Amino acid sequence: MNYRNCIARLMGAAMMVFLPCAVHADRGAFDVTRWYSILDNVRERASANGISDATIDATLKYPAFIPSIVKSDKNQAEFKLTLDDYLARTVNSRRIKNGRDMRNTYPTMLNRVYQTYGVQPHVILAFWGLESNYGQYRAAHKLTDAFLTLMYDGRRETFFGNQLLALMKIADVNNLDINDIRGSWAGAMGHFQFIPTTLQQYGMDGNGDGYVDIIHSVGDAMASAGNYLHKLGWNPNERIVRRVALPADFDVSLLDGKTKYQLSQWAAMGVTNTDGSPIPVVDMMAGLVADVDKIKEERANAIASAAVTPDPNAIDTDVAPQPVIYAYLTYPNFYRIKKWNNSNWYAIAIATLADELK
């Protein structure tokens, strides 16, 4: 297909088309030659991978460059919420109530996923709640345009090219209209926000119609999430985290989740339940995660406070009493969650919401 002639014909017919040549990228004037080269390459790769002409033509019929997507990619927020703020935002009363409602709405489906993949209903619901607020999140971007835009931008052209190719294969195999598939600016889609290559690898038909559609079918979405977690090694007999208390002088460098010891070793270092009782000790490795910045701030405040109003009964007024440290013991399932989303805060939020939805 000659895209230049195609665009000229569309302009002549006065049709509404998003034209890349009318846009300016951050680096200067839009490079029309590069855009056409990307479209040609997509067609060649798709054809070589056996994707139907119908899906290829639909993908490339009205290609649009979306400047706001490039802006989003280059200006991702760098700020970090405290753990308390993050949990307040993600595990709030409304999300818990909605999760309980969904548990009552889909008991059979949730049990089927549990029986098939070994992932408990409250865990599936926790992922569903955090990823799309139980399907209430409405994706804004046509994914073909999102991937083409990000390919043109070039920062991760190979990655997004692979995502587009996977999306085309998914549309082909599952009889989906590729122009009807919408997601986030970065390509995540459906109830559990899978990117295409993840869906291609783990997607499952949960409603028995012979196709996988994680956007319109809750059954397909739940089965796909269950299969993904199962393949990550999910163990339904293990906890995710346990909230614990640590000695006030505990070494905070150990609280990033990367350092792992046997539970008996953590217990020997003074790790207890929050009420001071001993933690259960079994033959298992675990890490510790806490909001280290908050701990350091509380220590600094304690020292400053002691300097202003020293305790006259203290033997050494230069040593301020330190606040008790609260943290999370992180069990193997915690690290399986991090293969889904590599964030300590996210994994703790999943665990906290899941506990609320048991």
Question: pLDDT digits over 182-215, tens only?
Answer: 999 999 999 999 999 999 999 999 999 999 999 9
In a domain, 247, yes or no: yes
Least reliable range by pLDDT among 19-23, 53-57, 101-105, 230-234: 19-23
Instruction: Decide which of 156 and 16 is more confident.
Output: 156
In a domain, 246, yes or no: yes
Least reliable range by pLDDT among 28-32, 41-45, 176-180, 218-222: 28-32
Which position has the token pair 């163990």? 235
The residues near 117 (Cβ < 8 Å, ≥ 6 apart) are: 223, 226, 227, 229, 230, 234
- Cβ burial, residue 57 (10 Å; 0-12/13-18/19+): exposed
The amino acid that residue 37 corresponds to is S
Residue range of the domain that includes 265: 241-330
In a domain, 203, yes or no: no
Is the per-residue pLDDT at 261 higher than 90?
A: yes
- Torsion, Cα 176 182 186 188, to 10 degrees, reads -70
In a domain, 25, yes or no: no
In a domain, 315, yes or no: yes
The residues near 318 (Cβ < 8 Å, ≥ 6 apart) are: none
In a domain, 293, yes or no: yes
DSSP 8-state class, residue 190: T
C-alpha distances out from residue 231 to 18, 112, 243, Å: 41, 17, 27
State the chain's mean pLDDT as an integer: 89
Residues 96-111, mean pLDDT to the nearest whole number: 98
Residues 288-292, mean pLDDT to the nearest whole number: 96
Is the per-residue pLDDT at 5 higher than 70?
A: no
Tokens of 167: 């999306």
For residues 262 and 267, what is the distance between their CA atoms, to the nearest angstrom?
9
| b (16+ CB within 10 A) / e for 115-139 | eebebbbbbbbbbbbbbbbbbeeeb
Is the per-residue pLDDT at 97 higher than 70?
A: yes
Q: In what order do the strands lie in the sheet with 285-289?
A: 261-262, 285-289, 325-330, 241-246, 272-273
The residues near 100 (Cβ < 8 Å, ≥ 6 apart) are: 357
Backbone φ, ψ for residue 241 (5° rounding)? -140, 165
Instruction: Decide which of 26 and 305 is more confident.
Output: 305
In a domain, 258, yes or no: yes
In a domain, 257, yes or no: yes
Q: For the chain, what is the domain count?
A: 1
For residues 35 and 39, what is the distance between their CA atoms, to the nearest angstrom?
6
C-alpha distances out from residue 337 to 151, 179, 226, 290, 341, Å: 29, 31, 12, 17, 6
